[in-house]
C-alpha cells in the first residue's frame, strides 16, 4: 500500500482511515500517495484551536505576532530547497515554484513589516477617529478592533499549495486567530511538507496551526459565529460553501477569492513599432504559460483594437511557438504540465465548448514537442489561442474558463466598447491596460474599475519594474467583485482587520482613555512637579501633562527666522502686501517658527531619559499668530509603545505626545503629535 499524506490535528500527525484518493505525479503519472481525512474529529479540531491556540495568540501583541511571522519566514527560507524538490511533482517549473514558495514566504516577511509599522504594540487596534457626541465634550465615541475568538478555516486551491496557505496565514496570525488549513488533495503533499517545517521550528504556539489533508467532512456543521472561513478556488464550489446553512444562520464571515475571466486591454494608441506593443505581447504570453496558465489571476481575454487584431494574433503565435514544454527539471523548459489528468480533461472540455463560438488560431496540436517526458503519462497541454470575431454578441468567451494555457483574442471598435467587453466577465480579480496615452489610461481605468479588484496600467515607464498582471502584492487587495467572489485578501492592514471585530465605544474621554491606553482630548491631564522629559519610559503615565510658561512673539523673532530659514514669504515680512491678503490681518509669524518656539517652551535641555525626537505627525495650524501675540504649549503623554530591544541596545520605547499651542485668548493656534525615543528604566 502506498504512503498516506497526513493531517495535523489536536497536536499530532495522523493518517486518515481506510482507502484514500490516489494522488499522482503530474509529470510522470507515478503514484505519490493517498489522501483521506476519514476519522478526524473536526469539531474537536475547531475547539482545540479556539481553546488552546486562540488564547495564546490573542495574548500576544501585534508586534510580537509580527516578529513570529518574521522568524517563521526566515526558518522556511532556510528550508526552501526541500519545497522546490516536491514542487516539481505539481508540474511547476523552478520559476513557477519560486512564485509559490518564495513568494509565499515573502508574504510573511511583508506582513511582519506591516504589523510593526501600521499596528500598535498592543493586543488590539484603536482606530484614529474620535466622534464628539455631546456639546461639552464629556461624551465621545471611537472605534476599537479586537481579535475574534474563533478559528480561521483556510480552504485553498491546487495551483498554489504554498502561497495560497501563507498569504492567508499571514493575515490571520497577525490578527491573533489560530488556523485550520485545508489544501486541495491534488497537491496537498507540498502543503503538508511546509506545515511540518513550520511546526518543527517550534515557533508556533500549540493549537495555532492544524492541517486537513482530504475533505472537510462535517467541519462546517460545527463552525460558530466567531469563526472565519476563507476560500480560494472555483466560483461554483465557493458559492456552494458560502451558502451552507450554518454559514448563513450564524452569519459566519466568509471571504471568497474565485477564478475569473481576467482581461488585458491594448490601448488604441499603440502600434506594432512601440515598446508598449512588445510589453503587451510579453505579458499575455507570460500569463498563458506561467504555472501552465493555472492561476486565478491569469489573462483569459485579450481585448485589442480592431485594426490591431491580426497583428496581435501573429505576434502571439510567433512568441508562443518559442515556448518549450516538458519536464520542469529539463534544461530550457519554460512551461511544465497541468497539475493532473483531471485538470487536463477539464481544460480540453472547456476549450471544446469555447470552440463553438471562436476560431482556433494556435494550439490543439496533438503531437506538440514535449522535452524529457512521456505525453501519455503527464498532464501536458499546448498553449491555445482562440479568436472571437463578435465578442459583444457572444457570451461563452465571457463565462467559460479553461483553467490552463488558454486565451481568447477579441476586437473592440472604441474605448466604450472595450469597457463593455471587460465588464462582460461579470467581475474579475485583475485587469490590465497597456497604453502610452495617459488620457486613454484614465478612461479605461475609470471604466473598468467597478468590475475589478485590481487594475495594472503598463507602459514603457512602469513595465521594467512591474511585478506583472498576475502577481498579487501583500500591500494591495487581492480579490474582486461578482464572479471573482466579492472578497478581499491581503491589502495591507485591511486583510488583518477581516479577522477582527470593529466595535464602537461610547463614554467619557477619561474612561475611554483608560480602556484604550491612548489619551483623548477632554480626558484628565494630571501634572507633576517632575518634568516629563526627566522620566523614564516606565515612569510616564498616559495623560500626564506639562503646561509651559509663555512667550510673546516679536517682530525680531519673525525677521530672524526668515533670515535663518530663507522663508521670506510676503505674509511674514511685507506689511503693505499683507494688508491686501484675504487671509491675514497683518504680518504673521512663520508656522514653523511657532513649532520651534513651542519646543523651546516644553523641552528640558539636559541629558536624560529622552534620547531623540522620532518624528512629528498630524500637524495643523488653526489660527495665525501675529506680532505681539503670546503663546503657551501644553504637552500630554498620548501613547507609549515599547520597542523590541536589539542586542546590546538599552531598552527603549516610543512615546507620542499630544501638543497644543494656544494664544493669549486661549485659542488653539497649532496642534500636532511628536514622537520621542525614551529609555526604559532597568533594575
Paired strand residues for 429: none
Per-residue confidence (pLDDT) for residue 647, from 0 to 100: 77
Domain 262-484 sits in CATH at 3.40.309.10
Three cell numbers, residue 645: 530591544
Neighbours of 612 (CB within 10 A): 10
Buried b / exposed e along 371-392 (16+ C-beta atoms within 10 A): eebeeebbbbbbbbbbbbeebe
| Percent of the residues in the chain that have a pLDDT greater than 70, as a whole number | 100
Between residues 642 and 81, the one the model is more confident about? 81
More confident residue, 396 or 579: 396
Question: How far is Cα 178 from Cα 172, in angstroms, rounded to an integer?
Answer: 7
Instruction: Give me the sign of the Cα torsion angle 488, 492, 494, 498.
Output: positive
Phi and psi at residue 239, in whole multiples of 5°? -65, -35
Over the range 45-84, which residues count as b (16 or more CB within 10 Å of their CB) and which as e?
Answer: bbbbbbebbbeebbebbbbbbbbbbbebbebbeebbebbb
Asked whether 304 and 409 are in contact (CB, 8 A), the reply is yes
* pLDDT at res. 585: 85
Full strand arrangement of the beta sheet holding 140-147: 125-132, 140-147, 500-507
Q: Domain ranges in the chain?
A: 4-255+495-500, 262-484, 525-679
- Strand 4-5 and strand 31-35: pairing? parallel
Q: List, for residues 313-325, the tens digit of each pLDDT value.
A: 999 999 999 999 9
Q: Is the pLDDT of residue 507 over 90?
A: yes
Does residue 236 sit in helix, strand or coil? Answer: helix
DSSP state of 605: -
Fold observed for domain 4-255+495-500: Aldehyde Dehydrogenase; Chain A, domain 1 (3.40.605)
Q: Is the pLDDT of residue 31 over 80?
A: yes
Going by pLDDT thresholds of 50, 70 and 90, the confidence category of residue 277 is very high
Q: Measured between alpha carbons, how far is residue 276 from residues 215, 304, 462 in Å?
A: 46, 13, 10
- 654 touches 643 (CB < 8 A): yes
> Is residue 1 predicted with pLDDT exceeding 70?
no
Phi, psi of 479, rounded to the nearest 5 degrees: 165, -175
How deeply is 307 buried, as exposed, middle or buried, from its count of CB atoms within 10 A (0-12, 13-18, 19+)? exposed
**Rounded mean pLDDT of 508-531?**
93
Going by the DSSP 8-state scheme, the letter that residue 204 receives in this structure is S
Give the mean pLDDT of the chain: 94
**Helix 415-423 and helix 438-448: axis angle, to 10°?**
30
Instruction: Please determine, for residue 151, whether its predicted confidence score (pLDDT) is greater than 70.
Output: yes
Strands annotated E in 418-544: 428-434, 452-458, 477-480, 487-490, 500-507
Catalytic residue at 465?
Answer: no
Helix 94-118 crosses helix 62-78 at what angle (to 10 degrees)?
Answer: 160
346-369 mean pLDDT: 93
Beta carbons of 236 and 256 less than 8 angstroms apart: no
Instruction: Please check the confidence at residue 125 and state whether its pLDDT lies above 70.
Output: yes
Secondary structure of 137-164 in the HEC alphabet?
CCCEEEEEEEECCCCEEEECCCCCCCHH
| pLDDT attached to residue 18 | 86
Instruction: Phi first, then psi: give them for residue 15, nearest 5 degrees.
Output: -90, 145
Residue 205 grid coordinates? 504556539
Backbone φ, ψ for residue 49 (5° rounding): -65, -45
Q: What span, in angstroms and rounded, lies between the C-alpha atoms of 13 and 21?
A: 18
Which residue, 182, 292, 195, 193, is CA-closest to 233?
Answer: 182
- Among candidates 541, 492, 503, which has minimal Cα distance to 125? 503
Query: Which CATH architecture describes the domain 525-679?
Result: Roll (3.10)
Cα gap 114→170, rounded to integer Å: 10
Query: Catalytic: which of 296, 488, 518, 544?
Result: 296
Q: How far is residue 149's CA from residue 145's CA, in Å, rounded to a whole number?
A: 12
Mean pLDDT of the 297-301 span: 96
Q: Which residue in 102, 167, 192, 257 is the catalytic one? A: 257
Given 3-state DSSP classes, what are the helix, strand and coil percentages for the chain, each rounded to the nearest 5? Answer: 35, 25, 40
pLDDT at 2 over 80: no
Q: SS3 of 116, please?
A: helix
Alpha carbons within 13 angstroms on the beta-carbon side of residue 195 total 29
Taking the C-alpha atoms of residue 504 and residue 344, their distance in angstroms, rounded to an integer, is: 51
The pLDDT of residue 589 is 95
- For residue 614, name the pLDDT band (cuts at 50, 70, 90): confident
Q: Does residue 342 have a pLDDT over 70?
A: yes
Q: Does 257 qualify as catalytic in the annotation?
A: yes
- The answer to whether the CB of 588 falls within 8 A of the CB of 578 is yes
- CA-closest candidate to residue 428, choices 297, 602, 527: 297
pLDDT digits (tens, 9 = 90+) for 413-470: 999 999 999 999 999 999 999 999 999 999 999 999 999 999 999 999 999 999 999 8
Residue found by looking up cell 511657532 in the block: 594
Alpha carbons within 13 A on the beta-carbon side of 117: 9
How do residues 17-28 score in pLDDT, each as one tens digit?
888 899 999 999
pLDDT band at 347 (very low <50, low <70, confident <90, very high): very high
pTM for this structure? 0.92
What pLDDT digit, counting tens, does each position of 153-181 carry?
999 998 999 999 999 999 999 999 999 99
Q: How far is CA 34 from CA 21, 45, 538, 594, in A?
A: 5, 22, 57, 73
- Residue 87 binned pLDDT confidence (cut-offs 50, 70, 90): very high
Quickly count: other Cβ atoms within 10 Å of residue 214's Cβ: 24
Query: With contact defined as beta carbons under 8 Å apart, do 454 and 467 qualify?
Result: no
pLDDT of amino acid 584: 87
Amino acid at each position: 500500500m502506498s504512503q498516506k499524506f497526513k493531517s495535523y490535528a489536536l497536536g499530532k500527525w495522523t493518517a486518515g482511515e481506510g482507502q484514500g484518493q490516489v494522488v499522482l505525479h503530474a509529470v510522470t503519472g507515478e503514484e505519490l500517495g493517498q489522501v483521506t481525512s476519514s476519522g478526524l474529529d473536526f469539531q474537536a479540531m475547531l475547539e482545540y484551536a479556539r481553546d488552546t491556540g486562540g488564547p495564546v495568540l490573542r495574548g500576544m501583541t501585534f508586534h510580537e505576532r509580527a516578529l513570529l511571522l518574521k522568524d517563521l519566514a526566515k526558518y522556511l527560507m532556510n528550508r526552501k530547497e526541500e519545497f522546490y524538490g516536491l514542487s516539481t511533482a505539481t508540474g511547476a517549473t523552478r520559476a513557477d515554484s519560486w512564485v509559490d514558495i518564495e513568494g509565499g514566504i515573502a508574504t510573511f516577511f511583508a506582513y511582519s513589516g506591516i504589523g510593526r509599522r501600521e499596528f500598535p504594540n498592543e493586543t488590539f487596534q484603536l482606530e484614529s477617529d474620535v466622534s464628539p457626541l455631546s456639546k461639552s465634550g464629556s461624551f465621545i465615541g471611537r472605534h476599537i478592533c479586537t481579535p475574534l475568538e474563533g478559528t480561521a478555516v483556510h480552504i485553498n486551491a491546487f495551483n498554489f499549495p504554498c502561497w495560497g496557505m501563507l498569504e492567508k496565514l499571514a493575515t490571520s496570525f497577525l490578527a491573533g486567530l489560530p488556523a485550520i488549513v485545508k489544501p486541495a488533495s491534488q497537491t496537498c503533499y507540498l502543503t503538508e511538507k511546509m506545515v511540518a517545517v513550520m511546526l518543527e521550528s517550534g515557533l508556533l504556539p500549540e493549537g495555532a496551526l492544524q492541517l486537513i489533508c482530504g475533505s472537510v467532512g462535517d467541519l462546517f456543521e460545527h463552525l460558530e459565529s466567531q469563526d472565519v472561513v476563507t476560500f480560494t478556488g472555483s466560483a461554483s464550489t465557493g458559492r456552494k460553501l458560502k451558502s451552507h446553512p450554518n454559514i448563513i444562520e450564524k452569519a459566519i464571515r466568509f471571504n471568497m477569492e474565485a477564478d475569473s475571466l481576467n482581461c488585458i486591454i491594448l490601448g488604441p494608441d499603440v502600434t506594432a513599432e512601440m515598446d508598449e506593443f512588445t510589453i503587451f505581447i510579453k505579458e499575455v504570453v507570460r500569463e498563458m504559460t506561467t504555472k501552465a496558465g493555472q492561476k486565478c489571476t491569469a489573462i483569459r481575454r485579450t481585448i485589442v483594437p480592431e485594426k490591431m487584431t491580426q497583428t496581435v494574433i501573429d505576434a502571439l503565435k510567433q512568441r508562443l511557438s518559442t515556448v518549450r514544454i516538458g519536464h520542469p527539471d529539463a534544461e530550457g523548459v519554460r512551461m511544465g504540465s497541468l497539475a493532473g489528468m483531471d485538470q487536463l480533461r477539464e481544460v480540453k472540455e472547456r476549450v471544446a465548448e469555447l470552440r463553438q463560438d471562436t476560431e482556433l488560431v494556435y494550439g490543439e496540436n496533438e503531437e506538440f514537442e514535449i522535452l524529457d517526458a512521456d505525453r501519455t503519462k503527464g498532464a501536458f497541454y499546448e498553449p491555445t489561442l482562440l479568436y472571437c470575431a463578435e465578442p459583444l454578441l457572444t457570451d461563452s468567451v465571457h463565462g467559460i474558463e479553461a483553467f490552463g494555457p488558454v486565451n481568447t483574442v477579441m476586437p473592440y471598435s472604441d474605448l466604450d466598447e472595450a469597457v463593455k467587453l471587460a465588464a462582460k466577465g461579470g467581475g474579475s480579480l485583475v485587469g490590465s491596460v497597456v497604453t502610452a496615452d495617459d488620457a486613454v489610461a484614465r478612461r479605461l481605468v475609470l471604466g473598468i474599475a467597478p468590475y475589478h479588484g485590481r487594475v495594472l496600467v503598463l507602459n514603457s515607464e512602469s513595465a521594467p519594474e512591474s511585478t506583472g498582471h498576475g502577481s498579487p502584492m501583500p500591500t494591495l487587495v487581492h480579490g474582486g467583485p461578482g464572479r471573482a467572489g466579492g472578497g478581499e485578501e491581503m491589502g495591507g492592514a485591511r486583510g488583518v482587520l477581516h479577522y477582527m471585530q470593529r466595535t464602537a465605544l461610547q463614554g467619557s474621554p477619561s474612561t475611554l482613555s483608560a480602556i484604550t491606553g491612548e489619551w483623548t482630548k477632554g480626558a484628565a491631564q494630571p501634572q507633576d512637579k517632575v518634568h516629563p522629559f526627566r522620566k523614564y519610559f516606565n515612569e510616564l503615565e498616559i495623560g500626564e501633562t506639562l503646561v509651559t510658561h509663555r512667550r510673546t512673539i516679536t517682530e525680531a523673532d519673525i525677521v530672524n527666522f526668515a533670515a535663518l530659514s530663507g522663508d521670506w514669504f510676503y505674509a511674514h515680512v511685507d506689511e503693505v502686501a499683507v494688508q491686501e491678503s484675504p487671509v491675514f490681518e497683518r504680518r504673521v509669524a512663520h508656522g514653523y517658527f511657532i513649532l520651534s518656539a513651542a519646543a523651546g517652551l516644553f523641552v528640558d535641555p539636559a541629558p536624560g531619559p529622552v534620547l531623540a525626537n522620532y518624528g512629528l505627525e498630524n500637524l495643523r495650524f488653526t489660527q495665525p499668530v501675529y506680532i505681539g501675540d503670546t503663546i503657551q504649549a501644553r504637552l500630554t503623554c498620548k501613547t507609549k509603545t515599547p520597542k523590541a530591544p536589539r542586542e546590546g541596545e538599552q531598552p527603549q520605547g516610543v512615546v507620542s505626545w499630544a501638543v497644543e499651542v494656544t494664544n493669549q485668548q486661549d485659542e488653539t493656534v497649532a496642534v500636532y503629535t511628536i514622537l520621542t525615543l525614551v529609555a526604559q528604566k532597568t533594575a
